[in-house]
Structure 1
């Protein structure tokens, strides 16, 4: 029986690496997968899932208007769907993924960040936390050694930002994963 999985974390926990490893495992067994990533995250090129350790693979892309049922119907003979940057999915898209799991018996593995730099849930993450069959937290660490659960957005001078648009694409140059204590300390006015 297929299930809807959500692997979530703060940044730099190895979500893309884990996704690419799962993809490799399916292919090693002679199975077919489809990969999907957010169109707006083109740091490594459009439609490219890349990990910090050098693994990468091409993928289809989605935006808020992508009809995932129609996308699935273009290649319905897959054994698994793997989605990177799942926090950017809409509520309807997550519900459509559940339909694919339940009605087509195809497992869907979603990987994404749970909360934004203000500690608020992303829409896709919120819906996945609500309806996924399996939830798995991938862990990373704060500079103090404790588990990092928050993400701090930094300006060009290394100062933590408390305001701004929810989505601003960036990597290590813009975001730092921290434990809750250091997250709040970083945001305190100096």
Structure 2
């Protein structure tokens, strides 16, 4: 029986690397996969799943209007990067894809934003996913990083702003709960 999986973490825990490894493992066994990433994530070019370690691969993009249930090709596995940007309806479509068409769907993303508020996609994934897995990362203090903070050009923490602002290490840091509140 196919399932919907949600693999989440704070930033820089290797979510994209893990996704690329899963794609490789499926294909090494002669099975087909289809990769998706958010259209708004243009850090490495639109339609690219990119690991900070270097590996990169083209992917189809989704925006808020994309319908996964109607448009996903027939493959052995669907992989979704930046899953926090999914809409609630898209999460439901991915859940249906797994349960009605028998296609495993593995989503990778953040749980919460820089203010500790849930992303809609992550909130619905936490509700509908059949399997939820945390990928681990560490804070500079040595504790497990579970949160993200946004910083300005001088490295000072921002405590207000739009929920979505695309960026990498220059814009976000991963921290533990204690450091998040200090």
Same fold at TM > 0.5? yes
SS in 1 for 2:5: strand
Does the alignment pair 1:24 with 2:24?
yes
Partner residue of 2:44?
A: 44
RMSD: 0.6
Aligned to 1:142: 139
Normalized against structure 2, the TM-score is what? 0.99
**1:70 Cα deviation from its structure 2 partner:** 2.1
Report the equivalent of 1:97: 94
May I ask how many residue pairs the two structures share in their alignment?
Answer: 182
Task: Report how far residue 157 of structure 1 moved.
Answer: 1.1
The answer for the alignment partner of 2:14 in structure 1 is: 14
Gaps of 5+ in 1: 186-190
Unaligned stretches of 5+ residues in structure 2: none
- What does residue 63 of structure 1 align with? 63
In the alignment, the residues of structure 2 paired with residue 9 and residue 164 of structure 1 have an alpha-carbon distance, to the nearest angstrom, of 22
User: What is the TM-score of this pair, normalised by structure 1?
Assistant: 0.95
Whether 2:110 is the aligned partner of 1:113: answer yes
Q: CA deviation at 1:153?
A: 0.1
SS at match of 1:44: coil
2 CA distance for matches of 1:70 and 1:45? Answer: 26
User: In 2, distance between residues paired with 1:65 and 1:167?
Assistant: 17
- For 2:107 and 2:84, the matched residues in 1 are separated by 9
